[in-house]
Amino acid sequence: MKIVASPLLSSLGGVTACFTTRHGGVSRPPYTSANLAFHVGDAAADVLANHDLLARTLGYERSRLVYMRQIHSDRIVRVDETVNFDTPSECDALITDRPETALMVMSADCTPILLYDPLSRAIGAVHAGRAGAFLGILPKTIRAMEAAFATAPENLRISFGPSIGGCCYEINTQIAAEAEALGYRNALRFEEKRVFLDVNTILLTQLNEMGISEERVDVVRACTACRSDTYFSYRADAQKTGRIAGVIMLR
């Protein structure tokens, strides 16, 4: 399976952190070919085969991978021994300090985020689209890691995977007003009568407010809608499409 490693997180050692692309799997159109989501209409056997391919590529047991039934919420689940591949939780963030347990976040335009603190040896995986960003899922996950594992936010290294950019994510005036009311005017771009939102700008602003500077964050600067040849895009692929994933695991 074709993957993109997070250079920042990988450079620290003790962790595997990467994002998948749409290439290197077995799914057929419109899920060609490395779709990892069961809920999008793809053949379950193909999705399972893709999970096996990814597990082999990264070197973990598929049963030790935990993914989420993502609901655009601010719900965070701490992964312990009771959670496994067959028991996904409804949530939008996973945290753990368990080694050899892979956390997965799936996306097709939303931002998949991986977090690692090498000192407290804790990791997180977050799904943040516009709704999640407005709800503060990323800062809430960092606070949850602080409470659960004594993770100091300033020690975290964070990786944003490919997501839809402000170039392509057009929103309506109601959502634009909501963004303004929340203090995120800097994430809006006005073009004649149209408005575009850059969700990563909101996320980086939230990190900055927690004292986490941009050099602690690496961003895959690829817009999923512009680059739907490489990634799945819910918008560019007219909604019927697969999901890429971010995966993080303590070694």
Residues at the contact surface with Zn ion, assessed by CB under 5 A: 165, 167-168, 223, 225-226
Question: With respect to Zn ion, which residue has the nearer C-beta, 139 or 162?
Answer: 162
Beta bridge pairs of residue 101: none
Q: Which long-range contacts (CB under 8 A, 24 or more apart) does 210-215 make?
A: 210/139, 210/142, 210/153, 211/153, 211/154, 212/142, 212/153, 212/154, 212/156, 212/158
Q: Kindly tell me which of 165 and 242 has the beta carbon lying closer to Zn ion.
A: 165
* CB-nearer residue toward Zn ion: 216 or 235: 235
Here the tokens at position 165 are: 């950019």
Q: What minimum distance in Å lies between the beta carbon of 202 and Zn ion?
A: 17
Identity of the residue, 104 or 202, whose beta carbon is nearer to Zn ion in the bound complex: 202
Please check whether residue 225 is in contact with residue 164, taking contact to mean a CB–CB distance below 8 angstroms: yes
Q: For the CB of residue 167, give the shortest distance to Zn ion in the complex, in Å.
A: 4
Which residue blocks in 41-198 are alpha helix, DSSP H?
A: 44-58, 130-135, 137-149, 173-181
156 in Cβ contact with 117 (< 8 Å): yes
CB of 241 to Zn ion, least distance (A): 15
Q: How far is the CB of 164 from Zn ion (least distance, A)?
A: 6
